[in-house]
Structure 1
Amino acid sequence: MYAIPAPDPGTPDHRSPWRYVVWTARRQWRTLVLASLLSILFMGVQALPPALIGRALDAGLSERDPRALLFWVAILLAAGVAQAVLAALAHRADVYNWFHAGYRTMQIVARRAGRLGITLRRRVSSGEVVAVGSSDMEELGELTEYTGMLVGSLVTVAGISAYLLASSGTLGLLVVVGVPAIVVAMGPLIAPFHRRTTTHRERLADLADQAGDIVAGLRVLRGIGGERMFARRYRAASQETRWAGVRVGRFDALLRSAEILLPGLLVAAVVWFGARAALAGEITPGQLVTFYGYAAYLVVPLQALTAVLGTAVAGHVAATRIVRVLALRRDIVDPAVPVPGPAPGGGLSDPVSGVVVRPGVLTAVACARPAEGLALAERLGRLRDSDPPVLFGAVSGASTDPAPPDAADVVALRDMALAEVRRRILVSDNDAWLFPGPLRAELAPDGTSEERLAAALHAASATDIVAALPGGLDGLVADRGREFSGGQQQRLRLARALLMEPEVLVLVEPTSAVDAHTEAAIGERLAKYRSGRTTVLVTTSPLLLDRADRVCHVADGRSAAEGTHRELLDRDPGYARLVRRGAGT
């Protein structure tokens, strides 16, 4: 056996669902072969008792040989012991394959999600990602788990058929023809089961999306009285998902019934013809018992074969969703030939809006529409591309006079390697998550000194949050920071962004959920903490705008005016209305 998860999950073949399934199998072919061999041995030993019982009966009844009877009984006992040992080994190998395939898929999907970044949120719903990371990986794991059972069942059925053919042509032919007929009879049930399973998975993903949206906006919904309306929508979607699950369950029950009925009919036919052959003296009583035992035992491998069909359907649906995520490509890609970035200490210029972020100062941008501010922040951090591109380097002048793109010390962001852009420019908005684990590791994943942690927490006015958390910095944070309020999450995200110490820090409404007193403290401390470094604040809060070195007012997507906060209040009526509205006055 090998370590789980694998150190390197590999590069998947996601050209089609079945290609991904085959690729997964090839990555763990050794353990699949081991599981298949153990399954063959287990099911082979499991198939011995009917023949051994038949020989024991013939030795005891027909030949009346006590020693032979004891011998066959001892062999039967040894077969039982071997069966128990092989069952444990085969099950261990099957479960290992399940975990191996499941964790490999989880690693690959997580790696792809990390590389896609913001593209994943734009192109795939969160519910679908949740489904891939939970139920779909389980279905794919079950498909690999059943591989050994499939091989063992096929070999066992072939071996029993050959034995019956050698003992009685009629009975052997009945089994040889009957087994494929059962598999063919199950075929018409597979396509409807596949459709219903696909629909159910889509409903589950949509329902997870709705649940996430409701939880994220619960406070807003309560404030506008929309909680009941969205609850009714969620209830209706939940009922649709439930009925989709019921339809899947009905077909699954039909498949399970067919797994019992069809092999049962084959057993009845074998017993009927076997009894007639025994009465005619063509076979001995022991052989009749053997034939009956094998006919009854064939139910086990046949059920395994039909179960594999159902698992293959669910596995194909799961693989379809997995390759859909793996086939996504980033909206933002590296240039064919990246150019080195400018010297440290540069600013940014956005020709689309005309906003210029001067080096080493705290620039605030007040946008009339929140979407404009978010789009600007994403352009400045190259989370989205623009034409003409954002410029990085020794920019200067007013927003109406950006640095020329051919300046030697100015580089277009889209010409730089993404890794360098991400290292030098950090965009932090309110969609950034808090991940589960110790708070210290959440704030500084690469580690830092206690002094720097304390300074960043003080600048973000988050010291009280750490003091109230059991365990302090070593206390555990739940998934997405559920134990913290919206304002506390904002302050912790701000502290995390400050600890990254980026060359350029872009903050989008970092204090929208905190009270005025805390907001004023953050504005003052943030300016001191980032003194001498390029910082952008996208906000309409007058408490933050008043602390900025420069303020740019953006209206209708373009820079309308710039200056200090108080200068713009005096000479820009549109800015004054925007800021006072943001202040609630």
Structure 2
Amino acid sequence: MTLATETEPTVSARRIIGLFRPYRWLMLLLLSFVVAQSAAAMVGPFLLRGIIDHGLPERDAWMISWLALGMVASAVTAGVLGVTSSRLANVIGQRVMNDLRVAVYDHLHGMSLGFFTRARGGDLLSRVINDIGGVDTVLTTTATSTVQSATSATAIAAAMLIMDWRLALLALLVVPAFLLVTFRLGRQLRSLARGRQRRLARLTSLIQESLSVSGVLLVRTMGLRDEFRRRFAEESREISRLELAQTMAGRWRTASRRMALTIVPAVIYWLAGIEVANGASLASIGTVVAFTSMVNRLTGPAATVQGVGQTVQTSMALFARIFEVLDLPVQVMDRPDAMPLRVTRGEVALHGVTFGYEERAGAEPILRDVDLVCRPGSITAIVGATGSGKTTLAYLVARLYEPQTGTVTIDGVDVAGATRASVADAVGLVAQETYLLHATIRENLLLAKPSASQEELEAAARAAQVHDLIVALPDGYDTVVGDRGNRFSGGERQRLAIARVLLRNPPVLVLDEATSALDTRTERAVQEALDRLAEGRTTIVIAHRLATVERADQIVVLEHGQIVERGTHADLVALAGRYARFLRPDGTDSESAGSSGSRQMRLPVVGREGVHPVVHRTSPESIG
């Protein structure tokens, strides 16, 4: 399954509200603060009416003083409660933001490697940062603003009805029409928000790809600077256009509504004045003044509701993109009854394993009915042409994928039923493409064993033939490796990766062309270290060079996802089959291939499977 790019799913308000469920008690506390704030704010107009209708006509200084003091007290109380409720709302919102961000990040780590080969890195980055950041206002302040505005509006409406129901009906006629027009903006705002986030994702991808070391090399060596600048400018202009359209959406309607709410007090003064001029009195002067002050207070919550409505409608598109990630089916996850994998012997076995990548719908599986046994303490090499399934088989052992049929077991335990963390502890993988964090050498090595001492770091580095290089650097083990380790050569990065796995000391070791970037002399030294490491553990090797393969206890030849040959190097050379043809550049059989030393084989090689004392050769048709 992939992420949508042009269309976005809808999301229900109930699901968004569900994000706040873990903090429902804090929400109730917040509601109590908001209600108390609204009640305190509503005392002021009634006290003002008392001053105008009674204190001033009766010239009662004590009454005026006490009523004025009450107005001050109500304002201070409302202000303190407002700040308190605002802080509590932000605390709740930031916790929800953190939960959402962590949930998306963790969910993505549950996807298989195939998902990341299809997904664009910039789009994932945009969803974690831009989309979740875009709903910050909704999660931190909108909920509070909505509750505060609704509570204040309710309190104001009740107070207005108590003070004078006829004037209240006139003032409150504006609100339903006001809200109706606000909701009509929703579809337009959601469409603009979707377009803006898609463009942000594309811009983020462009930045990520073109400003990495590899991207800069591509741009400069291919003379693409002007082309990439044109692409960047085009995406940036489109984002600016969408942001302008989003900002201006409904501004005339907003201005009209605000004018209408401001005009209401003038109408009230006009009606009251007409009544007084005609000898009748619609209300007392104090009531009119106090009522007008409440109408002015109604303008604030009404305008807030309008802003909240627009913000929520805009954010619905972002929530849809976020929940789309959370709704992706996790392909590699811990089962409810998952147990830690405890390795005692290290026997790795595949039983009837079939696997195919979902993006290759209708194509033949990469692996078909594979049965292998890698006996404890043995070295298994896997050989085959590109696309034969070598690396896929290794990844299944490390549980980076799960087979569609069949099982992968370690010491008889299906790794699919073990916890991911325990499988990672049991299986050490060194891939051809080495990844180092933009951190120090020490920090990169300690990823394998955070509690490792300096002596342990140095021992692992010496075994990987990289210690002398490290200590020759000005900062030694505290040298920053740079983005993806690009301060070092490919061979140096591979040795650092090998040192990291050596430090971890796993019972099962998978080497996917782990020495391909090393020169012959360094490879020989590193291979000797790996041979020592392989003692007492199960090792699976995928390699190009014959020197790496010929020392294996068992060599497995894959062709079109099936095992067609297996045995020792000498036995397979004597068999004069596919393996033997791999040893000569012209692809012909050769009995002298065993003396080829450390030269490269003609086709890629991979290692993995159990030692079988009997050599056998199987045609592809007879398997499966």
2:275 pairs with 1:273: no
1:383 alignment partner, SS class: coil
Q: Find the aligned partners of 2:223 and 2:384 in 1 and give their Cα distance.
A: 29
Does structure 2 retain, via aligned residues, the 8 Å contact 1:193–1:252? no
Deviates more, 1:367-376 or 1:409-418: 409-418
- The aligned amino acid for 1:528 is R
Q: Does the 8 A contact of 2:498 with 2:514 survive in 1?
A: yes
SS class of match (2:295): helix
Show the counterpart of 1:108: 103
Q: 1:488 to 1:45 in 2, by over 3 A?
A: farther
Offset of 1:465 from its aligned partner? 6.3
* Matching of residue 572 in structure 1 with residue 580 in structure 2: yes
- Aligned residue type for 2:429: V
Shift of residue 93, structure 1, vs aligned partner: 0.6
Q: Give the superposition deviation at 1:446.
A: 4.8
Structure 1: distance between partners of 2:472 and 2:86: 48
Amino acid at match of 1:158: T
Q: Deviations over 1:234-286 (max 9, x none)?
A: 85376346525532442333346644541331221332233331342233444
Q: Which moved more, 1:43-52 or 1:129-138?
A: 43-52
2:514 partner SS: coil
| Counterpart code for 1:377 | A
Show CA shifts across 1:18-46 (max 9, x none).
Answer: 34323222211111222233233334444
Distance 1:428 1:261 in 2: 65
What is the aligned counterpart of 1:454 among 449, 455, 458? 458
Residue 360 in structure 1 maps to residue 377 in structure 2: yes
- Taking the TM superposition and a 5 Å limit, the aligned residue runs for 1:208-247 are 208-214=204-210, 218=214, 222=218, 225-226=221-222, 228=224, 232=227, 235-236=230-231, 239-240=234-235, 242-244=237-239, 246-247=241-242
- What residue is the counterpart of 2:320 in the other structure? 320
Rg (Cα) greater in structure? 2
Structure 2 CA distance for partners of 1:356 and 1:346, relative to 1, 3 Å: closer
Count of residues in correspondence between the two structures: 554
Amino acid at match of 1:291: F
- Give the distance between the partners of 1:504 and 1:334, measured in 2 at CA: 20
Pick from 495, 500, 506: which aligns with 1:496?
A: 500
Q: Distance in 1 between matches of 2:481 and 2:224?
A: 31
Q: CA-to-partner distance for each residue in 1:484-505, whole Å, 9 max, x for gaps?
A: 6655544333322223322211
Report what 2:16 is aligned to: 21
SS at match of 1:447: coil
- Distance in 2, matches of 1:98 and 1:441, equals 37
Amino acid at match of 1:79: S
- Per the TM alignment, residue 523 of structure 1 is displaced from its structure 2 partner at its CA by 2.6
Judged with a 3 Å threshold, the aligned counterparts in structure 2 of structure 1 residues 392 and 76 are, in CA distance, closer, same or farther, namely closer
Mapped contact 1:347–1:358 kept (Cα < 8 A): yes
Counterparts of 2:234 and 2:26 in 1: how far apart (Å)? Answer: 42
Distance 1:156 1:557, change over 3 A: same
Pick aligned residue for 1:526 from 510, 524, 530: 530
**Ranges in structure 2 where 5+ consecutive residues have no aligned partner:** 1-8, 277-281, 353-367, 588-599, 605-624
The structure whose residues are more often helix, as a share, is 1
Aligned equivalents of 1:72 and 1:469: distance in 2?
A: 78
CA positional deviation for 1:172: 0.8
Query: Is the CA contact 1:508–1:538 (under 8 Å) kept in the aligned structure 2?
Result: yes
CA displacement 1:527-562 (0-9 Å, x = unmatched): 222233221222324564466565555454455666
Instruction: Quote how far apart the aligned CAs of 1:194 are.
Output: 0.9
User: How far apart, in 1, do the equivalents of 2:179 and 2:333 lie?
Assistant: 48
1:274–1:223 Cα change, 3 Å: closer
- The match for 1:188 is 184
Corresponding residue of 2:329:
329
Aligned counterparts, 1:94-243, within 5 A: 94-116=89-111, 118=113, 121=116, 125-145=120-140, 146-214=142-210, 218=214, 222=218, 225-226=221-222, 228=224, 232=227, 235-236=230-231, 239-240=234-235, 242-243=237-238
For residue 301 of structure 2, what is the aligned residue in structure 1? 301
Specify the alignment match of 2:345 in structure 1: 344
Distance 1:370 1:214 in 2: 29
- Pair 278,129 (structure 1): closer, same or farther in 2 beyond 3 Å: same
- Shift of the 566–344 alpha-carbon distance from structure 1 to 2, 3 Å rule, reads closer
Q: 2:66 matched to which residue of 1?
A: 71
SS in 1 for 2:20: helix
Greater Cα offset, 193-202 or 112-121: 112-121
Shift of 1:153: 0.8
% identical equivalent positions: 23
TM normalised by structure 1 equals 0.79
SS at match of 2:99: helix
Gap regions ≥5 residues in structure 1: 1-13, 394-408
Once the two structures are overlaid, the 10-residue window that deviates more, 267-276 or 89-98, is: 267-276
Deviations 1:196-231 (A, max 9, x none): 2123223333443444444568269639955628x7
Contact 2:186 2:314 in 1 (8 A): no
What is the deviation of 1:302?
A: 1.4
Distance 1:26 1:335 in 2: 25
| Aligned-pair CA distance for 1:183 | 0.9
What's the counterpart of residue 84 of structure 1?
A: 79
Aligned residues of 1:348 and 1:356 also touching (Cα < 8 A) = yes
Give the partner amino acid of 2:21: R
Contact preservation (8 Å) 2:47, 2:70? yes
Partner Cα separation in structure 2 for residue 456 and residue 261 of structure 1: 72
Instruction: Confirm whether residue 30 of structure 1 aligns to residue 25 of structure 2.
Output: yes
Q: CA deviation at 1:95?
A: 1.2
1:372 paired with 2:374, answer no
Query: C-alpha offsets along residues 30-85 of structure 1, whole Å, 9 cap, x if unaligned?
Result: 11222233233334444555555554455675444444333333233323432432
My pick for the range that moved more, 330-339 or 355-364, is 330-339
